[in-house]
Amino acid sequence: MEKLYEGKAKVIYKTEEEDKVIVFFKDSATAFDATKKAEIEGKGVINNTISSLLFELLEKSGIKTHYIKKLSEREMLVWKAKRFDLEVVVRNITAGSLCKRLGLEEGLELKPPLVEFFYKNDQLHDPLICVEHIRLLNLAEDWQVQSMKEMALKTNQVLREFFKEHGLLLVDFKLEFGILPDGSLAVIDEISPDTCRLWDAKTREKLDKDRFRFDLGDLMEGYRRVLEKIQGG
Ligand code: C5P
């Protein structure tokens, strides 16, 4: 298969159809601007499984995504999208860069949820930006920014409720958006414990990539527990 793009955790391959691509989930884990790296056997398989399940949930809930179907253990078939150089983060509980930037304690409930935009730019280390900066840099039209915010909040409602039913707290997560071949705005990339903070609702144990970032325990054990819970375990 012809490679179109290789990122830190995924590879994008061409298909025979111009408007579809394959996302291949690798086992690589990176953190802190890729200064911390590791290969974690089986991570790609579990992230593809979790992402596919969550994209199916969003589609069923009327949220447009790039997802078409899961093709194999590590491969997902998706619509080819024109990506925005933006990361949209939704937060329900304080954690991570929000605590660091604003000097907040971890674990405080955010009501209403907070939406943040980051400029996807490795050289600049993905800075936090505001709507005026998005306009200045011509990263998206104002109405697209508004739609991304609305879709991110709707995604939050759907995911938060779903995780809650399965004994998990959705602390925060990152979404990416793109324009599909039919011109629609859609959630793209992946939704997995690499891109979401998920805590056990009872114990508040961290089951996501923070285990790798801060050496909190076996990463795969956390990810497996997330999968077991959302599959009904
Ligand atoms: O680091 P920060 O607290 O801003 O991250 C917020 C959320 O976005 C976390 O769930 C994190 O895993 C996710 N994120 C991501 N990719 C990035 C930055 C953050 O998936 N490049």
Fold of 82-218: D-amino Acid Aminotransferase; Chain A, domain 1 (3.30.470)
Taking the domains of the chain in order of start, what are their residue ranges? 3-79, 82-218
Instruction: Report which secondary-structure segment, H or E, holds 177.
Output: strand 168-179
- Domain 3-79 - what CATH class? alpha beta
| Structure-block tokens of residue 117 | 């935009």
Mean of all residue pLDDT scores within the chain: 98
Cβ distance 171 to 159 under 8 Å? no
Task: For residue 174, report the distance from its CA to the centre of ligand 1, in Å.
Answer: 6
Q: Which atom of ligand 1 is nearest to the CA of 100?
A: 3
What's the whole-number mean pLDDT along residues 115-124?
A: 98
DSSP assignment letter at 85: S
This model of the complex carries an ipTM of 0.98
Residue 232 binned pLDDT confidence (cut-offs 50, 70, 90): confident
Q: Which two tokens stand for residue 161?
A: 């409720």
Read off the pTM: 0.98
> Pseudo-torsion of CA 21, 27, 32, 37, nearest 10°?
-130
| Distance (Å) from CA 24 to ligand 1 centroid | 21
| Residue 59 near residue 169 (C-beta atoms within 8 A) | no
State if residue 191 touches ligand 1 by the CB under 6 angstroms criterion.
no
> Mind listing the pLDDT tens digit for each residue in 209-222?
999 999 999 999 99
pLDDT for 191-206, tens place per residue? Answer: 999 999 999 999 999 9
Q: What is the mean pLDDT of residues 185-191?
A: 98
126 in contact with ligand 1, CB cutoff 6 A: yes
Spatial distance between the Cα atoms of 13 and 206, rounded to a whole number of angstroms: 33
Closest atom of ligand 1 to 173 CA is 10
